[in-house]
């Protein structure tokens, strides 16, 4: 009997929490959001070659993206807007150095909600301060790229405040300067390098 009472009590508590969450969200149209994701793709911007003959490539579309921002979804509307500021980074390392490609994407995405669980959409992302930094045995090589604009397509599945998204991003990078031994040289008419990638994203709204 005690076990039965405990189970009923726990179930009642969970129902109460669910009802409270629904009442709290009623009428809200603006939410905070945090996101994280893994991405892959793009050209090789640099690489580290190891003594055993293997190497690690620094890809223009990798690897980890973290961010946060706002989601706007009018009550009862089948659409939503999301704007975020992010840090996108790829890193390869060895015992005597490492190489990093970092950038700050600002994203503005719109979604159409097919039903309560599925959404599809896309938008633009403005990538700020893309840069490769390489250090090996105390020697440094930095490559600064021009800011660029990319296009995003994404399909997502979610339950309440937790969403997952599978995306494709198309973007390219053009080098503007190279720094070595603390001396910077401007690059003219550099060939564009591909930063396009696929990614698996996770979003939590609050």
pLDDT tens, 47-82?
Answer: 998 988 899 999 999 999 999 999 999 999 999 999
Yes or no: say if 85 and 67 are a contact pair by the CB < 8 Å rule: yes
- Containing 119, the helix (H) or strand (E) segment is strand 118-136
From 57, 22, 60, select the one nearest 39 (Cα to Cα): 60
Round to whole Å and give the CA distance between 46 and 92.
10
Round to whole Å and give the CA distance between 105 and 40.
16
Q: What pLDDT, on a 0 to 100 scale, did the predictor assign at position 26?
A: 61
Q: What pLDDT, on a 0 to 100 scale, did the predictor assign at position 80?
A: 98
Residue 27 phi/psi, 5° resolution? 85, -5
Reading the chain (206 residues) residue by residue, the pLDDT tens digits are: 444 443 444 444 434 434 434 444 568 999 999 999 999 999 999 999 898 889 999 999 999 999 999 999 999 999 999 999 999 999 999 989 899 999 999 999 999 999 999 999 999 999 999 999 999 888 899 999 999 999 999 999 999 899 999 999 999 999 999 998 878 999 998 999 999 999 999 999 99
pTM for the whole structure: 0.85
Round to whole Å and give the CA distance between 178 and 93.
21
Round to whole Å and give the CA distance between 90 and 66.
12
Delimit the domains of the chain by residue range.
29-205
Topology given in CATH for the domain delimited by 29-205: Porin (2.40.160)
Q: What is the largest CA-CA distance in the chain?
A: 80
Reading the block at residue 125, the tokens are 């992302």
From 130, 144, 133, select the one nearest 195 (Cα to Cα): 130
Reading the block at residue 127, the tokens are 């990538």
């Amino acid at each position: 009997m005690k076990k039965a009472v405990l189970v009923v009590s726990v179930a009642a508590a969970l129902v109460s929490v669910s009802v409270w969450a629904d009442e709290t969200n009623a009428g809200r149209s603006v939410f905070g959001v945090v996101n994280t994701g893994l991405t892959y793709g793009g050209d090789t911007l640099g690489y580290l070659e190891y003594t055993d003959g293997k190497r690690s490539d620094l890809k223009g579309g990798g690897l980890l993206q973290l961010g946060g921002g706002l989601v706007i979804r009018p009550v009862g509307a089948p659409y939503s807007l999301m704007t975020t500021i992010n840090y996108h980074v790829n890193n390869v390392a060895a015992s005597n150095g490492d190489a990093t490609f970092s950038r700050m994407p600002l994203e503005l995405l719109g979604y159409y909600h097919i039903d309560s669980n599925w959404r599809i959409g896309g938008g633009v992302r403005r990538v700020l301060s893309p840069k490769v930094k390489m250090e090996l045995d105390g020697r440094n090589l930095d490559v600064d790229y021009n800011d660029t604009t990319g296009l995003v397509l994404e399909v997502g599945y979610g339950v309440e405040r937790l969403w997952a998204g599978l995306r494709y991003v198309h973007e390219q990078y053009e080098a503007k300067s190279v720094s070595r031994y603390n001396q910077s040289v401007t690059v003219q008419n550099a060939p564009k390098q591909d930063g396009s990638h696929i990614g698996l994203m996770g979003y939590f709204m609050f």
